[in-house]
């Protein structure tokens, strides 16, 4: 394949961290990114260049471009963590193949992206682009965190932001493993869809009896893991309603609240723990055989329909600056950037 | 030894839990305890009866009689967790010997106490009663939690309420192991005494530049464990100033504040953890060889002067209802009940 010298890309305008905590919503990309023509990057030793087909837009991407994520921004480099595309250059036998990848060297919101060859995940032909573009962040996070649920030994677990793409993947994992998902959502209207997916119970955080309802459910189902993408006071209050040995695993910060610990004695006497989950750390620390096993499971689940991707919208790269915020503002589904147009 | 049928005791007036969180201070014992004459308990299979010499009064005792501890009160049973005394009856070769013990069946604030024979710890003759009376809760907690400090691999650790008896034991352990104690205290006046004991740095929580001072110290010494007896907002703020991989280990609740988590993203990206420590759980879960080893180390440290017990006052059992609160109110040192008078 002929690789051009120049490409379109959404390029970061800032370096480093912003020291703000504004959450994953965004109205206007222009203070953070510019749509520019820049040189196509050249892969160095151990790197691959990928022609991007479809790039995912995750909450972590928005945190990152805002300077609120766990790694610093680099001015002048394209944004975007993950995508699916075709390997076009690099020191790898995968040249010419379709892969999912996490861009470690040059971001995915561009016509071409660059990453380490070790991070390329070949895709089965039946594995659709919308599933493959988001194979890493959400599905791998779901599988990794569900390992914590299995280790807890409980017959149920709690997850909030349960209507998110990641929440739905977790509900599917619980359903298929016979470990009951207790889904926490903001709007009662989300309940039926999540029950249809496999949620055993739905707790509506904005209802007046939310705490009483949660208390009853926890007494019956005895969950030991709370998977938390929100980090608000309601989540803290839920944690202190859970039985002994509960783990509050925070993996995202949709809320800007600073939750207060109302019952610290439970950490002492009930052996409760508050911790975080970060996929990047998990990938470094987990048994290395778990990762290819997880990718095989992910592709199988999507191909067989056990999992599906809800698409909020696909925005052409050329129009993403203007159109992406509106798609991100939709209450359900995932946004994508089509880098071919 | 002739064992009488009746004894003096400080007997609990309430069952179960109080569902309050008022901290370890107390002005008046009379709502919680009565000084009474009750039958001396009779040891069953596997139990021992001990004639109490000196009983310790720990913060956990006060939490317990208030109904704010991790196990329920039993109305009519004497209070008091630990003491030193002489074994006078029971199915054990230790009858006639001086032992430290944790009272599992009938409390130590009485002329006679009862416990499981497996919990009797023989005392060396040179091991003084004031040290032996408090051998279990504070020294064993210090040794157990210092294991967490060693495991952290850091060259320093943070402890608050550093002027407490337990704080001073921890400072001694740090000093002797070459792991620098960073002592957090409320009053600047406590600093010199703690530096003399071995504190590498002293942070005064009530000073105007406490956060700045802590930030500087942590950048230099890079502590990874925070041993917390307080559970207040200042402690939470300290935790978020610590470097990556920090563990906030709460083992007591001197404050009634509900600390807010200001930087939850650090749990995700910096692998920080918030957890509790409870000696009762540790004793069940630790390698069983660690416990007798720890008791030998405790007695050796006191006998050789590496550790010492600061005595706030010794109150006769017959006068404890009236006199104990005043001794507990002293800013430094430990209170005891002499059960022989």
CATH number, residue A90: 3.90.180.10
> What is the percentage of chain A residues whose pLDDT exceeds 90?
90
pLDDT at B1: 65
In this structure, are A272 and A253 located in the same domain?
Answer: yes
Q: Please compute the mean of the pLDDT values over residues A227-256 and round it to a whole number.
A: 96
Residues of chain B short of pLDDT 70, as ranges, are 1
pLDDT single digits (tens) B250-272: 999 889 899 999 999 999 999 99
Residue ending a domain, among A241, A262, A281, is A281
Q: Nearest-CA distance from B67 to chain A in Å?
A: 12
Is residue A139 within 8 A of residue A112, CB to CB? The reply is no
In this structure, are B265 and B186 located in the same domain?
Answer: yes
In this structure, are A273 and A167 located in the same domain?
Answer: yes
pLDDT at A2: 83
The shortest CB-CB distance from B274 to any of A251, A270, A274 is to A274
State chain A's mean pLDDT as an integer.
95
Cβ distance B274 to A277 less than 8 Å, yes or no, reads no
Residues in chain A closer than 8 A to B276 (CB atoms): 264-272
Pairing verdict, β B47-57 and B82-90: antiparallel
Cβ distance A258 to B261 less than 8 Å, yes or no, reads yes
Distance CA(A15)–CA(A79), nearest Å, equals: 12
pLDDT at A331: 81
Residues in chain B closer than 8 A to A71 (CB atoms): 269
Cβ distance B70 to A267 less than 8 Å, yes or no, reads no
Residues in chain B closer than 8 A to A261 (CB atoms): 231, 236, 258-261, 274
In this structure, are A121 and A50 located in the same domain?
Answer: yes
Residue B318 lies in a domain: yes
Q: Please compute the mean of the pLDDT values over residues A306-313 and round it to a whole number.
A: 94
Q: Please compute the mean of the pLDDT values over residues A209-233 and round it to a whole number.
A: 97
CA dist list (Å): A163 to A134, A171, A181: 17, 10, 12
In this structure, are A220 and A171 located in the same domain?
Answer: yes
In this structure, are B144 and B272 located in the same domain?
Answer: yes
SS3 B189: helix
In this structure, are A276 and A172 located in the same domain?
Answer: yes
The domain containing residue A92 runs over which residues? 6-134+309-338
Residue B281: CB atoms within 10 A of its CB come to 16
pLDDT at B157: 98
In this structure, are A251 and A149 located in the same domain?
Answer: yes
Q: A interface toward B at CB cutoff 8 Å?
A: 21, 68-71, 231, 236, 250-253, 258-262, 264-278, 281
Given a cut of 90, is residue A260 above it in pLDDT?
yes
pLDDT single digits (tens) A49-78: 999 999 999 988 999 999 988 889 999 999
Cβ distance B276 to A264 less than 8 Å, yes or no, reads yes
Is residue B135 within 8 A of residue B111, CB to CB? The reply is no
Alpha helix ranges (H) inside chain B: 59-65, 129-133, 141-152, 165-177, 191-197, 210-221, 233-241, 265-269, 279-285, 290-303, 320-328
Strands, E, within chain A: which ranges? Answer: 6-12, 33-39, 47-57, 82-90, 98-102, 112-116, 121-122, 156-159, 180-185, 201-204, 225-228, 247-250, 273-276, 311-316, 334-338
Environment class of B149 (CB within 10 Å of its CB; exposed 0-12, middle 13-18, buried 19+):
buried
Cβ distance A274 to B275 less than 8 Å, yes or no, reads yes
pLDDT single digits (tens) B103-126: 999 999 999 999 999 889 999 999
pLDDT at B22: 83
In this structure, are A116 and A164 located in the same domain?
Answer: no
Cβ distance A231 to B264 less than 8 Å, yes or no, reads yes
pTM exceeds 0.95 for this model: no
Distance CA(A133)–CA(A214), nearest Å, equals: 35
Residues in chain B closer than 8 A to A253 (CB atoms): 264-265, 268
In this structure, are B14 and B113 located in the same domain?
Answer: yes
In this structure, are B101 and B168 located in the same domain?
Answer: no
Is residue A140 within 8 A of residue A119, CB to CB? The reply is no
Domain tally, chain B: 2
Residue A118: CB atoms within 10 A of its CB come to 10
SS3 A169: helix
Q: Which of A308, A242, A250 is nearest to A276 (CA)?
A: A250
In which region does residue B217 sit, left (phi positive, over 0), alpha (psi from -120 to 50) or beta (all else)?
alpha
pLDDT single digits (tens) A4-37: 999 999 999 999 999 888 877 899 999 999 999 9
The shortest CB-CB distance from A258 to any of B231, B253, B262 is to B262
Pairing verdict, β A247-250 and B273-276: unpaired
Residues in chain A closer than 8 A to B282 (CB atoms): none
In this structure, are A169 and A101 located in the same domain?
Answer: no
Distance CA(A314)–CA(A54), nearest Å, equals: 9
Cβ distance B276 to A274 less than 8 Å, yes or no, reads no
Is residue B206 within 8 A of residue B234, CB to CB? The reply is no
Residue B49 lies in a domain: yes
Environment class of A158 (CB within 10 Å of its CB; exposed 0-12, middle 13-18, buried 19+):
buried
pLDDT at A1: 66
Residues in chain B closer than 8 A to A252 (CB atoms): 268
Q: Nearest-CA distance from A52 to chain B in Å?
A: 28
pLDDT at B57: 96
Cβ distance A273 to B269 less than 8 Å, yes or no, reads no
Cβ distance A264 to B250 less than 8 Å, yes or no, reads yes
């Amino acid at each position: 394949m002929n690789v051009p010298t120049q490409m379109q890309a959404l390029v970061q305008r800032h370096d480093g961290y912003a020291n703000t905590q504004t959450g994953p919503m965004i109205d206007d990309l222009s203070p953070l990114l510019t749509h520019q023509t820049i040189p196509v990057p050249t892969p160095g030793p151990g790197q691959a260049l990928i022609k991007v087909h479809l790039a995912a837009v995750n909450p972590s991407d928005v945190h990152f471009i805002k300077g609120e994520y766990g790694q610093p921004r680099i001015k002048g480099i394209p944004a975007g963590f993950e995508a699916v595309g075709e390997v076009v250059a690099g020191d790898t036998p995968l040249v010419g193949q379709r892969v999912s990848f996490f861009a470690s060297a040059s971001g995915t919101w561009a016509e071409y992206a660059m990453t380490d060859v070790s991070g390329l995940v070949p895709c089965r032909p039946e594995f659709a682009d919308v599933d493959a573009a988001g194979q890493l962040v959400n599905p791998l996070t779901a599988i990794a965190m569900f390992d914590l649920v299995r280790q807890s030994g409980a017959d149920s677990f709690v997850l909030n932001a349960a209507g998110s793409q990641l929440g739905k993947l977790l509900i599917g994992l619980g359903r298929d493993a016979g470990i009951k998902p207790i889904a926490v959502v903001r709007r009662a209207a989300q309940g039926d869809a999540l029950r249809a997916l496999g949620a055993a119970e739905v707790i509506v955080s904005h209802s007046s009896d939310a705490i009483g309802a949660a208390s009853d459910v926890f007494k019956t189902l005895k969950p030991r893991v709370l998977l938390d993408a929100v980090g608000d006071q309601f989540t803290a209050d839920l944690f202190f309603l859970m039985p002994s040995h509960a783990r509050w695993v925070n993996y995202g910060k949709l809320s800007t609240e600073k939750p207060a610990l109302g019952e610290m004695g439970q950490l002492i006497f009930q052996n409760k723990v508050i911790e975080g989950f970060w996929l990047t750390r998990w990938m470094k620390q987990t048994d290395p055989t778990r990762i290819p096993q997880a990718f095989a499971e992910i592709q199988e689940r999507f191909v067989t329909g056990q999992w599906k991707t809800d698409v909020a919208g696909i925005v052409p790269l050329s129009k993403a600056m203007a159109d992406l915020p509106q798609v991100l503002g939709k209450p359900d589904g995932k946004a994508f950037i089509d880098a071919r147009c």
